[in-house]
Amino acid sequence: MVRHAEPGTVEWVESGGGPLVAVPETVLPFWTGADGEETASDYDRACEAGGPVGLLPVGDSAALVLGDEPAATAFLPEHGTLVRWLAGDSEAELLASVPAALDTAPWRPEAHWKVPGAVLLFDAARPGPHSTGAGHVRLPLAPGRYAVRAARVRPGPGTRLALVQLRPLP
């Protein structure tokens, strides 16, 4: 796996070239990754989701697919946001640009995602039961409904990132 991010302030997750997926822990056993025996594996379904975000049924819940392009991704709980590193010279520069980027982002229409609690973010090709080792990030979400919105921003010359914000709904 090629590292596009550097170790530092936050934990980054990367894929082997396909989408990342955030699957609720309660339905991890149902995510088959690329190992599915059906005509289309869960990984195939994730690849077909299209766009920056998509929702796929998994068990009695749904997984959030981060599509568009493979990118190192970190969760910033203080902003309720997944940050996808598309281009930039340093982690510090990229992370410092997030607050202003959140204020000026051209947000796409939002989707609503109901989660039963914490989710794991990992490479969509991995089966859920094998996702708890290295290469994942746990998002400590409270059970409930979330508005999910995405945007791509250029907060500075040479810096590009994608944002996926998860806002709790009443």
Residue 12 lies in a domain: no
- Predicted confidence at residue 3, as pLDDT, reads 40
Q: Flag residues of the chain having pLDDT under 50.
A: 1-5
Residue 93 lies in a domain: yes
Domain count, the chain: 1
- Predicted confidence at residue 37, as pLDDT, reads 65
Which domain, by its residues, includes 28?
Answer: 20-168
- Predicted confidence at residue 2, as pLDDT, reads 36
Residue 10 lies in a domain: no
Residue 14 lies in a domain: no
- Predicted confidence at residue 7, as pLDDT, reads 53
Contacts of 120 (CB under 8 A, 6+ apart): 22, 23, 25, 28, 128, 131, 132, 136, 137, 138, 139
CA distance 53 to 65: 5
Residue 36 lies in a domain: yes
- Predicted confidence at residue 148, as pLDDT, reads 97
Residue 27 lies in a domain: yes
Residue 11 lies in a domain: no
Q: Which of 170, 168, 165, 134 is nearest to 52 (CA)?
A: 165
Residue 4 lies in a domain: no
